Structure 1
Amino acid sequence: MQKTERDFASPTTEAVFNRTRLEMSRVFTKAGMKTEKVLFQWGLLLLVVGFLLGRALILMKIMPFALPFFAAVMAIKKEKAPLASLAVLAGAFSVSIQNGGTVFATLFVFLLIHRFSGILTMDPLKKLPFTVFSAMLLTKLTIFYVFTKEFTMYDFTFVAVEAGLSFILTMIFLQSVPLISYRKRKQSLKTEEVISLIILLASVMTGTIGWMIYGLSAEHILSRYLVLVFAFVSGPTIGATVGVVTGLILSFANVSSLYEMSLLAFSGLLGGLLKDGKKLGAALGLVVGSLLIGLYAQADQGLTTNLYESLTAVVLFLLTPSFVLKNLSKLVPGTSENMLEQQQYVRKIRDVTANRVEQFSNVFQALSKSFTQNGFYDEKPSADKEVDYFLSSVTERTCQFCFKKEQCWAQQFDTTYEYMKEIMLEVDNGTLEQNPRLIREMDKHCVKSKKVIDVIEHELTYFKANQHLKAQIQESRRIVAEQLHGVSEVMGNFAKEIKRERENLNVQEEQILEALRNFGMEINQIEIYSLEPGNVDIEMWVPYCHGRGECEKIIAPMLTDILGESIVVKNEECAKYPQGYCHVSFGCTKAYVVDTGVAHAAKGGGFVSGDSYSMIELNAGKYALAISDGMGNGERAHYESSETLQLLKQILQTGIEETIAIKSINSILSLRTNDEIFSTLDLAMIDLQDANVNFLKIGSTPSFIKRGDKVIKIQASNLPMGIIEEFEVDVVNEQMKAEDLLIMMSDGVFEGPKHVENYEMWMKRKIGELQTNDPQEIADLIMEEVIRTKSGLIEDDMTVVVAKLQHNTPKWSSIPSYAYRKKAQ
């Protein structure tokens, strides 16, 4: 089937459409950011709200809104207080000169009382409502006295009611003003904050009373638009609540609008119920509510006017961008968008915590494998080997000093072995007395047959007891392994169920966001998960920079200056397309870094060494260097040493203290080792924040720190691991400095030099004579020097680990941000 011209053109058309859509999205994003800057950073929104609150009246006389708004702005965002004062004064003077003068006098008295209230040792936010109440009461009483020269109970009640309303509104505005003065991203509002915001918006609408647009009331249009928005975003509950609160406040301002409360509440309920029908469904709820409630309107306001006002509110609602409604829904608790936003953070915390628990699960899994009977060296001996061991012990007591030993075991080995084996089986079965033939043949063959039979009977009792004991030990091992495996599975399952609530760091997010944007950086979103010293965790979504490295070169240095800690890019996921956003994770760097070098060799130049080494960077800001030497050489020694380091690594990565980790490993080794094969451990734990080092030496040789021309010996006395079940770990602490060299070695290197009486002095002299600071070169030179003293022979396993401590210098210097430095702390 041939493709048509349209089929060939479709991919290109789709690509053009996608590019156009992405470009439009980018344009809208930039426009939104500029609008946000004007509204929040420049304070235009505060200016508009202050102007309308300055005009707002209750019962055409009471003005309780202006002073609480100004006081809240001064307490929360002091730099915007002059703008707020000008706004409320302009609003009050726009009503009348008398109202403007009253507001001016109220603000003046409030500032005086606020200035002298500093002598009270009380939380400023808690004493602010009382300061507003006092200023309003004192100002109104003074005005009544000056202009009327007398007081009546009605006048005093009037003033007390206005001051009381100011007291209540101050507490409400303290919660709602931050919502219009800061641009908070991804923040979930509390129910009290939502109600406070609604009261603020309804109070603002009272400032529009008397405004008419082509015969339509502005406060009716705005109030119905507000109810429609919240009903669509939050559902019927919040929609009806917004309708009741808004209608009640408007009825206080104008008693003739009392019926408006019923219309708004019913419309909010219907709009919320019909929100599944998208915008048109919510709009239909308002229209139906207006038609039903409008029938009960006053005679001077017809149904047509009421309907036109509702339709105008519907048009404004339909013109509202969807992303604005979506962002608003993220702030209101209980909405699906808000729940999804919270779940994203919970998911990250849950994953981090689950990974930690999974590490514990891996430790128990490793312990379980150490006890497993089918391990590398836990194979059960065959029956023939058991018989051989038994007959060997019998031979040591009977045939060792017999004059016919050479004849019986050298010339007639098979015959002697079969006779003794058959006697052992007959004794074991209790049928030896019933087999006189075997006894006679044994008497003819062996001159000490009676003694041999007696020893076999005696040793067989111990042999059986030993066999039973071994079986019990094997069974105990199996049980312990199964229990540890079960614990591992339980912790693994538990890791999947862990949850943790998010810390409230929205103020810090806003401050960092403001600092970056004032610098000219375009930041789409910021999430702060932790600001703990040494454990900063910040994520950002920034526009694609076409590979210029803006996150590493600009944002991270600015965060370094703001937070007072060295911040770097931990992970960066670049956008899939040029108009997209990159996901960047920022975190702290360590004060020091470790550069290492290793040299090792097996005995006789073999491939399997009994020495093992490990270098582990732990999550707790520590770096571990470890050398383990299994007793002996070859594969068995390698297994013991590598098993020790594997257990150590998994236990340390869980965050368990190093002394407890070593005791745990020692207990495991002492329990699971049958014969006398042990392992040493040389462990150095370096703190990358302060360069403090803990040395734990378990049967190991000394280590050395080279600081310039000075060589410091580090030594401790502890038995090798696995010899005794309980012992105290001797910890040696040493403070290292930048450019110090830590040199650790196994006994094959320390005791390796031939014809040397004092190994310690010889090693310190060789280390002091080194002319290089490169860790790998030092390891190679020490190894080469030791091997040269033995004429090129390697008589034991040899391992040298060298670590160099250096200051961690960031790649990019910090960028000053003086106005915001350390605010996020």
Structure 2
Amino acid sequence: MATKEKLKTKAARLREEARETGKVVFRAPALVRTAECAIRFLLGALLSGAEIFGGYAPFALGLVGASGSGLDGFCALLGACFGYLTMQGFAEGLRYTAACILAFSVAFAFFDVKAYKKTWFMPVAAAAMDGITGFVYLSDQGWTKENLVFFGTELLLCGASVYFYRIAFTPWTEKREEEGLTPRQTVSLLLLAGTLMLTLANLTLSGQLSVGRLTAALAVMATASQGGIGVGATVGVAAGLAMDLAAGGMPFYSMAYALSGVMAGAFHRQGRLAAALSYVLTNGLAVLWTWQEGLHIALLYEVFIASVIFLVLPQKALRQVGALVAPQPRQDTRERAMAYVRDRLEETAGAFKELYQSMRATLRPGRPNDGDAAVVFDRAADRVCKRCALQASCWQRDYISTFNALNDALPAMLDRGKGEGGDFPAYFANRCVKFPEFLAAANEEVSALLYRRQYRSRLQENRAAVCRQYGELAQVLGAAAAELGAELVPDPVREKRLRQYLAAQGIECQLAAYYDEAGHLRLELEGAGLSPLRQKEGVEKLSKLVNFPLRVVEGERRDKLVLVQSEPLMAVAGAACRRKDGQMISGDTGAWFKHDDGALYVLLCDGMGSGRLAQRESALAVRLLEQFLKAGVRPENALQTISAALALRGEEEIGFTTVDLLRVDLFTGEAAVYKYGAAPTYVKKGTGVSRLTGASLPAGLAGGEGGAPDVSQLRLEAGDWVLLVTDGVTGGGPDQWVRDQMTAFSGGSPRELAEALLEESQRQVGAADDRTALVIKLTRR
């Protein structure tokens, strides 16, 4: 009843449109629906002529049972009735026509019943209707053993055809995205094609050449040449079985087509001609092997004609066949996903190696150190008292009094950093004939002792920094290991779709489609002939195919193409820079890049002072940070690692740099600003401008627990602006003019804003330091 009401509703809507507009407009869905109904009608008409055992034709009845009670079922019923009455004659045709009408009536009557949804209901109902009508007709002929066997087989085939036809139509009717065709769907489609060939088998040319067998040979040849041995054998068995059932004899065609399909599949990589020749020769052998059963000369003619048609078929048509029978990839998608993570780990290791090489030139082994205060006077005595006439008196006979005198003077000397005459007792100072020289030597040793202690303290700090480096390395590798163990989800649906498309284009390559740890689609293709896919048109076609916008990840290998899901947001960057007066090189260094996970990174570093040394420090920090971030290291870990490394460099040569890092997720707009002693960052949203600051020291100066960068979290949207500057832009003074300038700016170019800010900075604070401005504007893609 629901179907009847639905049809009435559509008819009423069409009548209303015709009354109001004077015409009926068929929309695209209506045209598609009309085509579907026409296909059901034609299938019903063709299947009614598919006979087995010399007169049994249950397959059109099976199609009616599989099509249900709606418009599809009604069109299949009309086609089946038309076919049965025209192909089977009035008497036999009327029997099957009645069975079809009864089966459709059962489906229409029980549409809303729960049992109707069961997979067994319509196969049983159709077989029952076939049995009822067949019992009446066959009773007049007498129930011989042969008739009982054939009639029972017909009932089984009727129910089986309902079951398998319904499965064959599921990719069409259910419109679900699955991993290509399931084995059940593949078998069902082969059975549907085989039963259609039963009808064509009875259609002959010149009395001997069967259109059905010619079509079957062409189908086996085409699929075997594109899919290989397995596909050729499968299609050959299905086609041969259909021809044997139509002939009603021994399974000759099953053997001939299956064997020929295997041989053609074995030569499918040698070209079309080799596949055709192997197929024809194998069929000739099959005819000779069955000489005693009678020569099947017609088969040779049919195969020859099919081979000629096969050789002249357009390559595009064969590619479409290849897309349907494309085999699954040999390399598992999960292995490709693991290889992706492994590459990330290798890049991380390369970043640490670069860091080590940059440190090795500045770290040198130190001399043996001594921090014992008692050696101060020992070394002074070695230098002064050895040649004194009173040496034996002071250091042997009066050793106790000398030791006490020096021991009493040492605390004051260490506190002050040097000794004075009043620090020593009078009996010692008056007795020593070389007291001024001894005091000077002792002061030199005190200074050396304090330097050694300072060096030891600094060394301990550096060792602690190295330990922190190991801790950071452990965190980085731990995060990478967690990513390695994460579930990177393959997408077999899109992978199958892409494989069929590539096969249709004649591109042979290994393919993997999966989602990374952030849930974004990633495609990896490896093979020859990928150049067209790198072009804009190729990327657009692939994007439409997977229903995701894609972009190419640039790589060095020409035989590998990586595409990732494109971000909904995009950034436009602009920069401007001015050197300090009197300098040829700016100490500021900036960079920006986009990671393949959709994150945008903007870096701005200001080296200590100005000139070449400052530029070297800032460039080193930017280069190392960029390498770490591209390798997938988290910003916090990368920044702390670089800061500790710069601190170790400072052991031999003093150097540090400010670090300003902006990270924006172009999928979600989530952003964060990381700072090591950097100038404020300004964010413009609408007409308001906010200011983000930090209190940490520059990278290379912060150590211990205070070595973490300042982090400010924010969310950006299309139309927002972000400004990163070095401290020379404001000179450390008031910056209200910066916010006013950003608020008043009405242009659309980030570079214009950067240039305008530096021009205003020249008027506000002058050129006493290097000045750099980096402006980022977010827009929707």
Post-superposition CA distance 1:310-363 (Å, at most 9, x none)? 333333223323657954873687xxxx56x958xx799999986775455344
Does residue 743 of structure 1 match 2:733? no
Shift, 1:664, TM fit: 4.1
Whichever residue aligns with residue 191 of structure 2, its letter is: I
| Separation in structure 2 between the aligned mates of residue 536 and residue 372 of structure 1, nearest angstrom | 34
1:205-284 aligned within 5 A:
205-208=197-200, 210-216=202-208, 218=210, 245-253=238-246, 255-257=248-250, 261=254, 278-284=275-281
Query: Quick one: which amino acid aligns to residue 681 of structure 1?
Result: V
Deviates further, 258-267 or 95-104: 258-267
Q: CA deviation at 1:290?
A: 1.0
Given that residues 283 and 300 in structure 2 are in contact (C-alpha distance below 8 angstroms), is that contact kept between their aligned partners in structure 1?
yes
> Deviation string for 1:354-383 (max 9, x for gaps)?
6775455344323222222665644679x9
Matched with 2:58 is: 64
Query: Any conservation in 1 of the 2:284–2:300 contact (CA below 8 Å)?
Result: yes
Whether the 8 Å CA contact 1:360–1:651 is kept in 2: the answer is no
Q: TM-score, normalised by structure 1?
A: 0.61
Contact 2:224 2:262 in 1 (8 A): yes
Q: Match of 2:191?
A: 199
Q: How does 1:9-408 map to 2 (within 5 A)?
A: 50-60=44-54, 62-70=56-64, 84-93=76-85, 94-114=87-107, 119=112, 127-128=118-119, 130-138=121-129, 140-141=131-132, 144=135, 161-174=153-166, 176=168, 195-208=187-200, 210-216=202-208, 218=210, 245-253=238-246, 255-257=248-250, 261=254, 278-297=275-294, 303=295, 306-321=296-311, 326-327=318-319, 330=322, 338=326, 342=329, 358=343, 360-372=345-357, 377-378=362-363
Call closer, same or farther: CA 1:194–1:143 in 2, change over 3 Å: closer
Equivalent position of 2:675 in the other structure: 697
Instruction: Note closer, same or farther for the CA distance 1:589–1:280 as it changes in structure 2 (3 Å cut).
Output: closer
Match of 1:609 among 575, 578, 586: 586
Displacement of 1:463 after TM fit? 5.5
The match for 2:437 is 448
Distance 1:80 1:510 in 2: 32
In structure 1, how many angstroms separate the alpha carbons of the residues matched to 2:718 and 2:228? Answer: 62
Residue number in structure 2 paired with 1:16:
none
Q: Quote how far apart the aligned CAs of 1:54 are.
A: 1.7
Q: How many residues align?
A: 649
Structure 2 residue aligned with 1:651: 628
Equivalence for 1:429 = none
SS in 2 for 1:365: helix
Contact 2:578-2:770 at 8 Å conserved across structures: yes
Instruction: Find the aligned partners of 1:510 and 1:68 in 2 and give their Cα distance.
Output: 34
Question: Partner amino acid for 2:757?
Answer: I
CA distance in 2, matches of 1:450, 1:92: 129
Q: Check whether the contact 2:229–2:262 (CA below 8 A) recurs between aligned residues.
A: yes
Residue 663 of structure 2 corresponds to residue 685 of structure 1: yes
Q: 1:165 to 1:530 in 2, by over 3 A?
A: same
Is 1:724 aligned to residue 703 of structure 2?
A: yes
Decide which moves more: 41-50 or 51-60. 41-50
Q: Which residue of 2 aligns with 1:782?
A: 757
Q: Does 1:598 align with 2:575?
A: yes
1:481-529 CA-partner distances (Å, limit 9, x unpaired): 9x99xx99xx9xxx9xxx997733389679999xxxxxxxx99999998
More displaced stretch, 315-324 vs 113-122:
113-122
Amino acid at match of 1:315: I
2:772 matched residue in structure 1: 799
- Change beyond 3 A, Cα 1:659–1:273: closer
Within-5 A mapping of 1:520-531: none
Would the aligned equivalents of 1:372 and 1:477 in 2 still touch at CA under 8 Å?
no
Q: How many angstroms does 1:289 deviate by?
A: 1.6
* Separation in 2, partners of 1:265, 1:767: 77
SS in 1 for 2:703: coil
Contact 2:678 2:727 in 1 (8 A): yes
1:731: how far off? 3.4
Asked if 1:630 is matched to 2:624, the reply is no
Q: CA deviation at 1:751?
A: 3.8
Whether the 8 Å CA contact 1:620–1:655 is kept in 2: the answer is: no
Alpha-carbon distance, 1:606 to partner: 1.4
Retained in 2: the 8 A contact 1:371–1:672? no
Mapped contact 1:666–1:725 kept (Cα < 8 A): no
* Secondary structure of the corresponding residue to residue 57 of structure 1: coil
**Cα contact 2:348–2:632 (8 A) shared by 1:** no
Query: Unaligned stretches of 5+ in structure 2?
Result: 1-30, 370-374, 385-431, 526-534, 555-560
> In structure 1, what residue type is equivalent to 2:688?
K
Q: Which residue of 2 aligns with 1:503?
A: 492
Distance in 1 (alpha carbons) for counterparts of 2:456 and 2:636: 37
The percent of aligned pairs where both chains have the same amino acid is 19
1:734 corresponds to: 714
- Indicate the RMSD between aligned Cα atoms, in angstroms: 6.1
Q: How many Å separate the matches in 1 of 2:718 and 2:631?
A: 28
Looking at structure 2, the residues matched to 188 and 807 of structure 1 have their Cα atoms a distance apart, in angstroms, of 34
CA distance in 2, matches of 1:81, 1:246: 27
Matched residue, 2:417 = none
Instruction: Give the drift of 1:307.
Output: 1.9
Please give the per-residue CA displacement for 1:266-305, whole angstroms capped at 9, x wherever unaligned. Answer: 66667777988542333122122212213124xxxxx3xx
For structure 1, the residue ranges without an aligned partner over 5 or more in a row are: 1-36, 298-302, 388-392, 403-442, 514-521, 540-548, 573-583, 754-758, 809-825
| Separation (CA, whole Å) in 2 of partners of 1:220 and 1:597 | 70
Contact 2:600/2:665, CA 8 A, preserved across alignment: yes
Q: Contact 1:65–1:166 at 8 Å: present in 2 too?
A: yes
2:305 is paired with a residue whose SS is helix
Query: How far, CA to CA, are the matches of 1:767 and 1:274 in structure 2?
Result: 70
1:430-453 deviation digits (Å, cap 9, x = unpaired): xxxxxxxxxxxxx99994248737
**CA 1:67/1:621 → structure 2, altered by over 3 Å: closer, same or farther?**
farther
Tell me, in whole angstroms, the C-alpha distance in 1 between the residues paired with 2:238 and 2:298. Answer: 23
CA contact (8 A) 2:489 2:514 kept: no
Q: Deviation at 1:171?
A: 4.4
- What residue identity is the alignment partner of 1:798? R
Contact 1:628 1:679 in 2 (8 A): yes
Q: Distance in 2 between matches of 1:752 and 1:458?
A: 38
Residues 594-633 of structure 1 deviation map (CA, whole Å, 9 limit, x = unaligned): 3333233344441333332222233333322232233444
Given that 1:71 and 1:128 are in contact with CA atoms closer than 8 Å, whether structure 2 keeps it comes out as: no
Is the contact between residue 739 and residue 805 of structure 1 (CA under 8 Å) also seen in structure 2? yes
Q: State how far apart, in whole Å, the 2-side matches of 1:557 and 1:153 are.
A: 63
Aligned amino acid, residue 618 of structure 1: H
Alignment of 1:468-617 (within 5 A): 503-505=492-494, 551=537, 590-617=567-594
Corresponding residue SS for 1:599: strand
What secondary structure, in the 3-state scheme, does the structure 1 residue paired with 2:775 have? strand
Q: Match for residue 17 of structure 2?
A: none
Shift in Å, 1:745? 1.9
Output one character per residue of 1:390-448: Cα deviation in whole Å (capped at 9) or x when no partner.
xxx999x989xx9xxxxxxxxxxxxxxxxxxxxxxxxxxxxxxxxxxxxxxxx999942
Deviations 1:117-137 (A, max 9, x none): 66577996xx44532332332
Tell whether the 8 Å contact from 2:380 to 2:438 is kept in structure 1 after alignment. Answer: no
